[in-house]
Chain A
Amino acid sequence: MGKKEDFRDKEDFRSMEELHESVLRKEEQIPEEGNERGPWWMYAIIIGTLAFGFFYMGRYLGEISHHPHVLFTDRGPAVAEEAVFDPMETGRRVYTRVCQACHQQNGAGVAGAFPPLAGSEWVSGDPQIPVLLVLHGLEGEIVRNGTTYNAPMPGFGRLLSDEEIAGVVTYIRNSFGNEASEVTPEDVEEIRADASERQRAWTENEVEAFMESRDIQ
């Protein structure tokens, strides 16, 4: 280390000339660099970092290819839990994640936009209708209890599995004061297959017409 003087030590020895120099903004040249070695712990950090970096690279390198694949993702107990299918628990999760933003936590919906699930005939009636609506969505105006609702609902057929749809339909059929039968994943699979030609969202008339055509069969 070079000189370690504090600045206060210097100020008393300054001449008038030096004081003026600073007023005239005379600068110091950048002094030549020192060549200290640095503290020992700095080298410890360097070696530690190199060791960690190479270990990490070796441990998590994965397959060297152009294929995207996600290694080391811990699926955890979620898989084990899902193995025992609990429709109400699955349904609650799906509802919070997917439905709640529009139909609200208490299933009351939003006047003018999203119809209520609580006390809805469609929800508690023939389970095929709620399954169809979750699969493909619903658009166009509907009127319930004198209130008009007109916000499109997207279909979730591609996003949700049969189990998840069975769960969420069972959940809305048995929450918010509703009481109705359980829907099984097999039911959903069957309905999905029957309506496999449907590409667009349903309208009220179309879904009723579809139900009638099934009744005739």
Chain B
Amino acid sequence: MEKEKNESEGYRVAELDRQAKYVVLVLVLSGVFWLLFGTLLALVASLKMHAPDWLSQSSWLTFGRVRPLHLNTVVYGWASMTGAGVALWMLSRLLKTPIFLRGYIMVAAMVWNLALAVGSIQILAGYSRGIEWLEFPTPVMVVIVLCVVVMSISVIMMLVARKVKHLYVSVWYILAAFIWFPLLGIVSSLPIFDTPTVQAGMNWWYAHNALGLWFTPVGLAAAYYFIPKVLGRPIYSYGLSLIGFWGLALFYNWNGFHHLIGGPVPTWFVTISISASVMMVIPVVVVAVNHHMTVVGSFSAIKYSPTLRFVVFAAMSYTFVSLQGSMQALRSVNEIIHFTHFVVAHAHIGLYAFVTMMLFGACYYILPRVLLREWHSKPLIKLHFWLTASGIILYVAALQYIGFFQGLAMNDPDVPFTETVTMTMPYLVARSASGVLMAAGHLIFAWLVFKMAFSPAEEVDTPALWEKIRKEFAV
């Protein structure tokens, strides 16, 4: 009896995956393309930091255009598109409902890609909006937001048509993300932020929230989904999930203004933001406890499951980057690290060590299920993990170490400014080296994904598990 139920359950799941196939595939493949493009731009920008004359003949390839485009392509191309694909797939599984508006979403994804291509050319040609995280000209941004709105409508329709009573914690996060991001995108595109200080406020409200209210909820939803899924163990506590979610919803929105410490804005404006940034410790610690207690005792599983290894690395990075962020918001700390490489590294722990690694882990789980094929090489998956993990660790160690001393030197009136630049040189070279490691990892990942998606002949049907196959770890 029990077995029969499981079997029909299995067929239902397979049917959901079949329906999700093309939506997930289009979003993930687009994401991987923009990841490669964004990585190339990152390498160019990083090399320019210690070889400033390289590629400076053409204005299209100057640092001031390449670096913003790197940010915009990895954020709105890789992380947003892949994240949306992963989120829609999880939602379909969790609500036991096929993804709605599949045709519209496919069209939206194509339009999205087109918008990214147009926006990229505009930034390289010098038509940037000049606001960090919002360099794409407003029309491009509006198009991207509308594409997400199509998915948001689908998400709400799925929620209405759901076949489950209990809403799992990942569902809350995904639903919130698909409401928050369109709001952020639309508000930041309104032509009402014309005075410089107000624009700066909007800038950091948007940029910080894009990370905290769009990528973070998708990333946490994935952690809450894949950890118990791979381990076959229940999430430690429903109550803690609640505190974690509402803590994020309550405190995060205020955080961005700590970027304006020392700027010409009212003191209360910054102080409230700093308080809220510190309060973020609450949801972060609660989520960390919840995840850790779920995995504890089963840590050996990361030896076998690529998904789990990436997800656990990402979840730990989330705790680390968030606690670091709360510290950085304090005026006394900010005084030192503001305008240094320390902050650059901090942003990369957030978007790379947390969000990107989480998405890698999710892809390793999802793609074999929607494609009904297997990954082509287990050692290459392992290599992908070690290249990207060691790359980001080297990146953060080098830049945060020197960033701290750079900050101290910049605050010392007796140190000439040139010296604060030259002292960072060896570490900027290390940053480029770490970039090469990560880029190599991305190439491997892209090869694995494209090989799996486009090679019709080979059908590998053993799951990509390292070492012996174990029931508990279905990839």
- Once A36-B236, A68-B197, A101-B417 are accepted as A-B contacts, the answer to whether A14 and B271 lie under 8 Å apart by CB is no
Tally of A interface residues using CB under 8 Å: 58
Give which listed residue, B331, B414, B475, contacts A25 with CB less than 8 A.
B475
Residues of A within 8 A of B290 (CB): 38
User: Would you call A61 and B267 a contact (CB within 8 A)?
Assistant: yes
User: Would you call B233 and A31 a contact (CB within 8 A)?
Assistant: yes
In the complex, whether B275 has a CB less than 8 A from a CB of chain A is: yes
In the complex, whether A84 has a CB less than 8 A from a CB of chain B is: no
In the complex, whether B351 has a CB less than 8 A from a CB of chain A is: no
- Measured in the bound complex, the distance between the Cα atoms of B219 and A169 in whole Å is 59
Residues of B within 8 A of A32 (CB): 166, 234
Give which listed residue, A18, A33, A37, A50, contacts B282 with CB less than 8 A.
A50
In the complex, whether B369 has a CB less than 8 A from a CB of chain A is: yes
- Once A31-B232, A36-B236 are accepted as A-B contacts, the answer to whether A96 and B282 lie under 8 Å apart by CB is no
CB distance from A24 to the nearest CB of B (A): 8
Give which listed residue, A30, A35, A62, A71, contacts B237 with CB less than 8 A.
A35
In the complex, whether B103 has a CB less than 8 A from a CB of chain A is: no
Name, among B197, B266, B416, B472, the residue most crowded by chain A CB atoms within 10 Å (CB to CB). Answer: B266
- How would residues 65 to 80 of chain A score, 1 for a CB under 8 Å from any chain B CB and 0 otherwise? 1111111100000100
- Once A19-B469, A23-B463, A37-B239 are accepted as A-B contacts, the answer to whether A71 and B267 lie under 8 Å apart by CB is yes
User: Would you call A49 and B234 a contact (CB within 8 A)?
Assistant: no
In the complex, whether B268 has a CB less than 8 A from a CB of chain A is: yes
Residues of B within 8 A of A6 (CB): 297-298, 300
CB distance from A190 to the nearest CB of B (A): 28
User: Would you call A57 and B234 a contact (CB within 8 A)?
Assistant: no
- How would residues 394 to 410 of chain B score, 1 for a CB under 8 Å from any chain A CB and 0 otherwise? 00000000000000000
Residues of B within 8 A of A18 (CB): 471
- Measured in the bound complex, the distance between the Cα atoms of B276 and A68 in whole Å is 20
- Measured in the bound complex, the distance between the Cα atoms of B94 and A53 in whole Å is 36
Chain B: interface size category: 35 or more
User: Would you call B13 and A50 a contact (CB within 8 A)?
Assistant: no
The dominant DSSP class at the B interface is helix
- How would residues 320 to 355 of chain B score, 1 for a CB under 8 Å from any chain A CB and 0 otherwise? 000000000001000000000000000000000000
- Measured in the bound complex, the distance between the Cα atoms of B463 and A23 in whole Å is 7
User: Would you call B416 and A100 a contact (CB within 8 A)?
Assistant: yes
Residues of A within 8 A of B266 (CB): 62-69
Residues of B within 8 A of A35 (CB): 237-239
- Measured in the bound complex, the distance between the Cα atoms of B169 and A33 in whole Å is 9
Give which listed residue, B238, B281, B282, B472, contacts A7 with CB less than 8 A.
B472
Residues of A within 8 A of B137 (CB): none
- Once A32-B234, A34-B237, A50-B279 are accepted as A-B contacts, the answer to whether A27 and B268 lie under 8 Å apart by CB is no
In the complex, whether A158 has a CB less than 8 A from a CB of chain B is: no
User: Would you call B233 and A53 a contact (CB within 8 A)?
Assistant: no
Residues of A within 8 A of B168 (CB): 30, 33
- Measured in the bound complex, the distance between the Cα atoms of B284 and A45 in whole Å is 11
Residue contacts A-B, CB under 8 angstroms, 12 given: A22-B471, A27-B474, A30-B225, A30-B229, A33-B235, A39-B289, A49-B279, A53-B275, A57-B275, A61-B271, A63-B268, A64-B266
Q: Rank and list the top 5 A-B pairs by shortest CB-CB distance, nearest first.
A: A62-B267, A28-B232, A31-B234, A68-B264, A33-B238
Known: A22-B469, A49-B282, A62-B271. 6 other contacts (CB 8 A): A27-B10, A30-B168, A34-B238, A35-B239, A38-B236, A68-B197
Residues in B lying within 8 Å of A, measured CB to CB = 9-10, 13, 94, 166, 168-169, 197, 225, 228-229, 232-241, 262-268, 271-272, 274-276, 278-279, 281-282, 285-286, 289-290, 293, 297-298, 300-301, 331, 368-369, 413-414, 416-418, 461-463, 469-472, 474-475
